[in-house]
Chains A and B, each alone.
Chain A
Amino acid sequence: MSEKKNLLQKLADGQIWKSIFRGGGVPRSRRQRMMVVLNSVFLHLHPVRLPKHAVKLKFTWCMGGLSFFIFLILTISGILLMFYYRPTIEYAYTDMMDLTEQVPFGIMREIHRWGAHAMVITVWLHMFRVFMTGSYKPPREFNWAIGVILLVLTLLLSFTGYLLPWDQLAIWAIAVGSNMAGATPLLGAEGPGSALLAIGDINFITKVSDARFGLIGGRFLGEATLLRFYVLHCIGLPFIIMIFMAVHFWRIRKDGGISTPV
């Protein structure tokens, strides 16, 4: 080490720096560099070192990484949209139009919309790549199952977001989707076996207690449906998907890193 420390080195060896970055100081050895990753709450999910072949674009397509990148874009643009959008029948559509046409950088709505489409595509392609490279095999089979849950959650986020513009496309898409929920076996009022869940004459699965009702919050699409989908889309599903994403990323590292034979 040189006798004369420059400003950057002084800063890096100072108390403020050391208190923020555990392990302290500027990493000067391989070991210290490793500790920087291990000691950071954000970085520790990521592997400390990556084999060169594992990050070949030809092999991974970077589809998992892209899915996460798009998820971040969707989170940020989605939070911005929430500053203008009101989830009521009276305002939803006009707020969406206002966002598109009057709000500066209203392209935020298009970014969110196209990002949502893109994320569904990248998640599918990621699954396809993992399948084709056999990366679902033990010890990665648990992470494959987590991945399937993440796919379902992505599709549910897509489905709940579909209703929010409250235009004709949205309403009829959800009309179709929720009627399908009404045809759920056992739990849908119009599905097969719904009459089985009954005690005597009291039927537990009716129009006001079946899967469709739980989804749309009423017997018909309306105010309750819009609010229910809004809360699920903005809070409920993102909260759940983030937990599963954390497990997914952590397991990639624990199960031998990305696309490395184990």
Chain B
Amino acid sequence: MPDNKKTATITPSGPAPAALNIADTGSEVSRRSFFSWLSLGWLAFVAATGGFFTMMLRFFFPNVLFEPVQTFRAGYPDDYTVGEVDLRWKVKYGVWMVRNDEGIYALSTTCTHLGCTPNWQPTAKKFKCPCHGSGFRITGIHFEGPAPRPLERFKITLADDGQIIIDKNTKYQQEKGQWTDPEAFLKV
């Protein structure tokens, strides 16, 4: 142990090691071919490493998702009372069904501020978010708190058997003028 330093030092003077002499004669591995193989080796290493990191990244984005279905049948239009917010699909699908004099629309229960679920307060006639206090009218228009835009509405259509079909894959945003689109609102 005490002689650590001495053994670690390589003295530059003195005869070159035998291996170097062989390279000079060109009989085994020449300096040129050594560097060719070295760069090839490095290229292969970098490619393999890069490939593996790409695999690792892609690994986290699966092709098949086991998530709840985004389309569901919401019963018949007559199941909903005019002027009321219907909570029956809130927990299961994250949708409020609202019927007014003209028809029915499906409001998303996701607060447009940071994604919490507001509560419908029947007496105050508003959706109130418990997280940061955003408030929305029965139409979904925001009027208080930090929410930057109205609640989103989902695609609502009628099936052949007269039942309502809600498709959560398609969203309609008021600020983009999409609430007047034909399938953002079901005329009854």
Contact = CB atoms under 8 A, between A and B. Distances in A.
Contacts of B66: 223-224
A176 B115 contact: yes
B37 interface: no
A219 interface: yes
Nearest to B94: A220
Contact of B115 (A175, A222, A223): A175
A73 B60 CA distance: 31
B82 interface: no
A26 B65 CA distance: 62
Interface residues of A, number: 18
B114 interface: yes
B67 A218 contact: yes
Nearest to A176: B114
A244 B66 CA distance: 36
Interface stretch (A2-10, A64-72, A99-107, A209-217): A209-217
Contacts, number: 33
A218 B67 CA distance: 8
Given A209-B61, A214-B60, A220 B67 contact: yes
B131 A35 contact: no
Given A23-B1, A172-B131, A208-B61, A222 B67 contact: yes
A218 B60 contact: no
A217 B61 CA distance: 7
Interface string A170-181: 001001100110
Nearest to B60: A214
A50 B117 CA distance: 56
B131 A214 contact: no
Interface string A11-47: 0000000000001000000000001000000000000
Interface in A150-180: 172, 175-176, 179-180
A236 B65 CA distance: 23
B168 to A, nearest CB: 10
Contacts of A179: 114-115
A217 B60 CA distance: 7
B114 A175 contact: yes
Nearest to A175: B115
A124 B145 CA distance: 32
Given A175-B116, A176-B131, A35 B1 contact: yes
A176 B61 contact: no
A219 B60 contact: no
Contacts of A209: 61
30 contacts: A23-B1, A35-B1, A172-B116, A172-B131, A175-B114, A175-B115, A175-B116, A176-B114, A176-B115, A176-B116, A176-B131, A179-B114, A179-B115, A180-B114, A208-B61, A209-B61, A213-B61, A214-B60, A217-B60, A217-B62, A218-B65, A218-B67, A219-B65, A219-B67, A220-B68, A222-B67, A222-B68, A223-B66, A224-B65, A224-B66
Interface of A: 23, 35, 172, 175-176, 179-180, 208-209, 213-214, 217-220, 222-224
Q: Which 3 A-B pairs have the closest CB atoms?
A: A176-B114, A175-B115, A179-B115
